[in-house]
Amino acid sequence: GENVGLHLPTLSVQEGDNSIINCAYSNSASDYFIWYKQESGKGPQFIIDIRSNMDKRQGQRVTVLLNKTVKHLSLQIAATQPGDSAVYFCAENSGGSYIPTFGRGTSLIVHP
Amino acid sequence: KAGVTQTPRYLIKTRGQQVTLSCSPISGHRSVSWYQQTPGQGLQFLFEYFSETQRNKGNFPGRFSGRQFSNSRSEMNVSTLELGDSALYLCASSPGLHTGELFFGEGSRLTVL
């Protein structure tokens, strides 16, 4: 498969546990954030987004939390499954530019 | 609906050569952007096209260029290849300009020897 990040932070969890993946962003003007999932050999896939006028948004088994005070974003995955194993990226957009800046990514490994 | 299609998936070139990568966006999507992904630098923005015009450009040398055709298909070209150009090149499409969510292809893996 593709080695998209040889030195990525890694989170290992057991199947059924909840996972929390964190991301610190740099631009205080960023107002739109997206989480992407990238499985080995594939391109990134949209998971969930959040705008800066919100601090929480829920999807199917996923929740994104935004703390603008400390410029921190987190992705919570409930009842993690082996199919959730992938690299997860956060991306930020500032109001003046819709070109996302991607974080380095976190590798999630789910053990059956 | 077919996803974003990139060709070729894998290719090997030598230093000094040039390469052209192709991207067919999702039907109806008019914006195409390109990214370079490497272990050291992560995902870095190359350029964005909309209606056959380059709208934004990342911080890459002039050896990297691209274009978009009237059917929204896009190509990117890298001339005078260097070893450091070895990377996964990802194309992403979106329905319009500045619409947030990007739909990525599976990428073209370029190895420069």
- Residue A111 tokens read as 């053990």
Has residue B18 got a pLDDT over 80?
yes
The answer to whether B62 touches B75, Cβ cutoff 8 Å, is no
- Which chain A residues are closer than 8 Å to B45 by Cβ? 99-101
* Phi and psi torsions of A62, nearest 5°: -125, 145
- Does A5 sit within 8 Å of B106, measured CB to CB? no
- Does B102 sit within 8 Å of A100, measured CB to CB? yes
- Residue A94 tokens read as 């500032």
What is the per-residue pLDDT across A14-24, written as a single tens digit (0 to 9) for each? 999 999 999 99
How far A104 CA lies from chain B's nearest CA (Å)? 6
Q: Does A31 touch chain B (CB under 8 A)?
A: no
The pLDDT > 90 percentage for chain A reads 71
Has residue A13 got a pLDDT over 70?
yes
How far A46 CA lies from chain B's nearest CA (Å)? 7
Taking residues B63-86, report their average pLDDT: 97
Has residue B65 got a pLDDT over 80?
yes
Over its C-alpha atoms, chain B yields an Rg (Å, rounded) of 13
How many C-beta atoms lie closer than 10 Å to residue B12's C-beta? 12
pLDDT for A44 equals 95
Higher-pLDDT residue of A101 and B62 is: B62
Mean pLDDT (chain B) is 94
Mean pLDDT (chain A) is 89
User: Chain A residue with minimal CA distance to B32?
Assistant: A99
Distance CA B100, CA B50 (A): 14
The pLDDT > 70 percentage for chain A reads 90
pLDDT for B96 equals 76
* A16: amino acid identity, one letter: G
What is the per-residue pLDDT across B20-47, written as a single tens digit (0 to 9) for each? 999 999 999 999 999 999 988 889 999 9
Q: List beta partners, residue B24.
A: B5
Distance CA B102, CA A95 (A): 17
Q: Does A104 touch chain B (CB under 8 A)?
A: yes
What is the DSSP code (8-state) at residue A79?
A: S
pLDDT for A55 equals 96
Has residue A98 got a pLDDT over 80?
no
Has residue A87 got a pLDDT over 50?
yes
Has residue A97 got a pLDDT over 70?
no
- Which chain A residues are closer than 8 Å to B98 by Cβ? 98
